[in-house]
Structure 1
């Protein structure tokens, strides 16, 4: 019996098909390896790890490549390429990509400011529970950017953002409270829960690289003091060495549900009001496979490890367990 040799083009199809059938564990390991390389400063290696999985449509790989293009790490800084990567991930429901895509348009990183596109993507991320996008969406409602000015919706979105302890959202809410009537504030708070209409699906932050360089506002100045307060938070992490750099965090505990983590955060805020100046709460979603899904309650930002250790020590003196970790 004669065995026909496999033709080269059929072999290629077989290899590609096999790649499409890679199990989730393999994808996770490879994308995670890229994150590890990135954290070690090996940006080109990280890029090489992510490229094949981005080609297969992996949203975290696409997002991470967008980050590299945005920051110019392992490749030339190119906001147009960043947009392309973010867009592909955003269309797959990646919340971080939706937020970052919105900021590219809001701050005019691609040709000119495009409030309409910014509003579209920021509201998608905000609806899925992203607190920075909620803050920016509220900003846009207050300023009347790509939508009619609406103080009640502005307050509602910023109120949602402030519930996670985001300092700038809290400050912005204070300013809004000063110019609104009690009736308007009540209407806004009643409206807020209905704005979160999507089933929340947090990104897997363990597979995402964080941005290290803050966006700067586009050339046009914010229209009012509320915008001046609220526009900056949409940038990811301040540059390394900045006094507010998110290099370390204080972790309080891990919870099995996001609701429990949110309640624990609220208790902390009420219990230690004097310790919240310049700090914010973070609830990090972590999928540990067979061990389950957890929500880690963390406090940030801390530039130096010693700052985080000192903060944790103060909590421990008040019978609150905690420990210091490096920021994800």
Structure 2
């Protein structure tokens, strides 16, 4: 039986003895207005009932010492309780705390769980581990795939790391990594839906906030459902991939193209090219598209470049806009 006032918000209606204007999301509003103590007051009863978002937000508060005393042990406890409920950002943050004290194997397990739920920070960390061969086996195509996913989700560190990888990996490794990223994003639904994997939209997580970077001004209400990982982890919390010597270019003859995505149907690839020409005319206008079959996939490629430098220059402009792209050599 429910007690107390029932608000119009469906989420709050699930709980009892909660004021009409109170709730996890209302705590987010107060936090972003710098009312940290008020935010914590909103979250505490929900955390006590085991709400994963509230547990995660309490972990963030204790990690930063806002609204409550700074206490890393309590932060870890809240993260762990949320992580046990499958909360991907909590799994990611808990993994970082464990890795900082040397428990890298356990951290990697948590990041693998969170990455499967498309958490950008976890994808970033797995990319770093596989690139460096740290804790997990060195696997550059897989590292490139994870980092591409994190970059597509908007994680700033991922863009810088992806540039390091692009300079280090061979075209074949980058091509393999891009196809892995496409397969990860599309999952088992790709073959049946035919949806493009050019630039997947990141999954949004309601009622959690990115708390590690102070806000200059409260964001608009529409921004309260934040993209996980945009600013939750400070740069100092996560390692950068070590730069490796560029792989020698053994290709001779032929030409270079830029690869823009992989699709289950050529019609979808053609639709994606039309969209790219409309959204990025200054970058791709004048380039000739090509649709290269590869097993059950169709790769969208474009352009004719005499060398990889010219192709990568175009790709970099697209990557800066959040679009995956890499240079490929054709015979």
Aligned partner of 2:81 in structure 1 is: 88
User: CA separation in 2, counterparts of 1:269 and 1:209?
Assistant: 30
User: CA separation in 1, counterparts of 2:63 and 2:274?
Assistant: 35
Q: What value does the CA root-mean-square deviation take over the aligned residues?
A: 4.1
User: 1:152 aligned to 2:141?
Assistant: yes
Q: Per-residue CA shift, 1:159-215, capped at 9, x if unaligned?
A: 22233454543332232233322222222222223435599994534x223223464
Contact 1:152 1:184 in 2 (8 A): yes
Aligned partner of 1:105 in structure 2 is: 98
User: CA separation in 2, counterparts of 1:267 and 1:83?
Assistant: 47
Aligned partner of 2:280 in structure 1 is: 270
Aligned partner of 2:205 in structure 1 is: 204
Q: State the 1:141 CA deviation.
A: 0.7
Q: In proportion to residue count, which structure has more helix?
A: 1
User: CA separation in 2, counterparts of 1:97 and 1:265?
Assistant: 36
Contact 1:127 1:198 in 2 (8 A): no
Q: State the 1:65 CA deviation.
A: 0.4
Aligned partner of 1:25 in structure 2 is: 12
Q: State the 1:117 CA deviation.
A: 2.3
Task: Give the TM-score, by structure 1 length.
Answer: 0.56
- Give the secondary structure class of the aligned counterpart of 1:225: coil
Contact 1:72 1:78 in 2 (8 A): yes
Aligned with residue 160 of structure 2, among 171, 190, 194: 171
Q: State the 1:154 CA deviation.
A: 0.7
Gaps of 5+ in 2: 16-20, 190-200, 214-232, 245-271, 284-313, 324-331
Correspondence 1:290-309 to 2 at 5 A? none
Correspondence 1:1-20 to 2 at 5 A? none
Contact 2:151 2:322 in 1 (8 A): no
Aligned partner of 1:136 in structure 2 is: 125
Q: State the 1:69 CA deviation.
A: 0.5
Q: State the 1:128 CA deviation.
A: 1.6
Contact 1:94 1:203 in 2 (8 A): no
Aligned partner of 1:5 in structure 2 is: none
User: 1:70 aligned to 2:91?
Assistant: no
Q: State the 1:18 CA deviation.
A: 5.9
Q: State the 1:32 CA deviation.
A: 1.9
Q: 1:212 to 1:162 in 2, by over 3 A?
A: closer
Q: State the 1:70 CA deviation.
A: 0.6
Contact 2:164 2:241 in 1 (8 A): no
Contact 1:64 1:209 in 2 (8 A): yes
Aligned with residue 243 of structure 2, among 216, 225, 228: 225
Q: 1:198 to 1:32 in 2, by over 3 A?
A: farther
Gaps of 5+ in 1: 1-13, 227-261, 283-328
